[in-house]
Amino acid sequence: MWGAGDIRQPYSLFNSWLDDQSVDGLQGKRRHAEELFRRMGITFAVYGVEEATERLIPFDIVPRILSAPEWRRLAAGIEQRVRALNAFVYDIYHRQEILRAGRIPKELVIQNEAFMPEMIGVEPARRIYAHVIGVDIVRTGENEFFVLEDNLRTPSGVSYMLENRETMMHLFPDLFASHRVAPVEDYPHKLRQTLVSVAPPGLDREPTIVVLTPGIHNSAYFEHSFLADQMGVELVEGQDLEVADGYLYMKTTQGLEQIDVVYRRIDDPFLDPLVFRPDSLLGAAGLFEVYRAGNVTLVNAPGAGIADDKAIYAYVPDIVEFYTGARPILNNVPTYDCRRPDDLAYVLEHLKDLVVKEVHGSGGYGMLIGPAASKAEREAFAAKLKARPANYIAQPTLALSTCPTLVEGGVAPRHVDLRPFVLVGDEIRLTPGGLTRVALPDGSLVVNSSQGGGTKDTWVLRD
């Protein structure tokens, strides 16, 4: 189905298999996969859309394949990056040495919405702030990888990585028999190991762990319940929690049970109405004081989002060098900070060539893709930039790599990115591969599910 010159070595065996398949047969497998996802209830919520608020994420049955050497390089770069980002967050809430050294503008941190003064001086277990991290990576050439963004707050998508793999193994057992694909199904076990390792010190029993969810209406609720079930821990909401005598408890039919580790999937402002948003019903009153006292661990820690703010992103290469003493293994995408007058002038002059993002935006919203925008759209966005330049960064449109993808007419190239998932506790645990997201419309660069993107299984081939 592909010309010989188009095939990268990791795909050679797969391509031989693909040549023996009919388009109709592949489409039948795709429909079977969709039915499996529908039965399992793997959906996501779309906010602000009245019709079909629960949707299936489109799943592509053609896997993305990486060789073992490619993965080793990515893994080394990811590990270096997450160590540096955790050191940065610890420093920001303690001595602020990187600010004293002038490597990052102080106001960029102190005046940032993601900075939490309440975390100053807090000593989390093992000095770790971000325990579960998703790193979004794009490829532009044979040996060129760039980090598009870091996710240190409540990164999602790991359940799709796991269900994608299970579905592929169900549909194509012969393919797995012929490929040495590194496993991903032990992620829930690794997650539990990580959570246990960051429990408050001095416990004389196995730590009690819970997953804290906002509830069934959250877009990632399937993932919350899935991970709690896979780890064998309780899924709780704020109404199930109670603070007493300096500790956090879970209400059970047998009475109160002390909680030691909370894998929370709610945002910082909703954790504790006594400290943050007083109208929040999602967290527990008094939770933050229990955390500050070291009597419960919150995963990820409040305030960790300062390290994944898009304004801070431009300085991550400096952060890596400052805390590790080495140059980054994985590069950033070149980034223009519109708060700088020279950068703003350049962005306004070259809007048609750039991608412009809101500093606090996510999900593909609030952004301008210059080459795909009309002149009127660019002019309207220029007015926003001039009104609030500090609210935006800009980046060149990269020549993103493509992967073979099953579309209506057969197999065709589509742009992809990759979100590997990293666990940081007593050691760094990195699952081989991650979630490949694919932009399904021809020519599109937007991979977000809320914007019509789909997902793929990611195969890392073992040596």
Q: Are 455 and 167 spatial neighbours (Cβ–Cβ below 8 Å)?
A: no
**Pairing verdict, β 354-358 and 392-396:** antiparallel
Q: Identify the helix (H) or strand (E) that includes residue 396.
A: strand 392-396
In whole angstroms, how far apart are CA 179 and each of 1, 196, 218? 19, 34, 37
Q: What is the mean pLDDT of the chain?
A: 91
Ramachandran angles phi, psi of 395, nearest 5°: -140, 155
Q: What is the pLDDT of residues 373-427, one digit of tens each?
A: 999 999 999 999 999 998 899 999 887 889 999 998 899 999 999 999 999 999 9
Are the C-beta atoms of residues 74 and 326 closer than 8 Å to each other? no
pLDDT band at residue 450 using 50, 70 and 90 as cut-offs: low
Average pLDDT over residues 356-377: 80
How does DSSP assign 404-462, residue by residue?
EEEETTEEEEEEEEEE-EEEESSSEEE-SS-EEEE--STT-----GGGT-EEEEEEEB-
Band (52; pLDDT cuts 50, 70, 90): very low
The angle formed by the CA atoms of residues 273, 278 and 283, to the nearest 5 degrees, is 30
Phi and psi at 385, nearest 5°, equal -60, -45
* DSSP secondary structure code for residue 371 in this structure: G
Compute the average pLDDT of residues 61-68: 96
409 to each of 23, 103, 221, 360, 405, how far by Cα in Å?
Answer: 8, 51, 34, 38, 10
**Residue 91, both tokens:** 């420093």
CA 403 to each of CA 75, 169, 396: distance values in angstroms, whole numbers, following the listed order: 21, 20, 21
pLDDT tens by residue, 209-240: 999 999 998 988 999 999 999 999 999 999 99
Cα-based angle 294, 261, 83 (whole degrees, multiple of 5): 80
Q: Tens of pLDDT along 322-333?
A: 999 999 999 999
Sequence spans of domains, the chain = 4-200+296-331+399-460, 334-396
Rounded mean pLDDT, 149-160: 92
Q: Which two tokens stand for residue 341?
A: 């007058």
Task: Give the model's pLDDT for residue 39.
Answer: 84
> Where is 324: in which H helix or E strand?
helix 316-324
Per-residue model confidence as pLDDT tens digits over 4-44: 446 788 999 999 999 999 999 999 999 999 998 888 777 65
Helices 68-92, 316-324: axis angle to 10 degrees equals 80
- CATH 3.30.1490.270 is held by the domain 334-396: yes
Mean pLDDT across 71-100: 98
> Is the model more confident about 243 or about 445?
243
Each residue's pLDDT tens digit, 167-191: 999 999 999 999 999 999 999 999 9
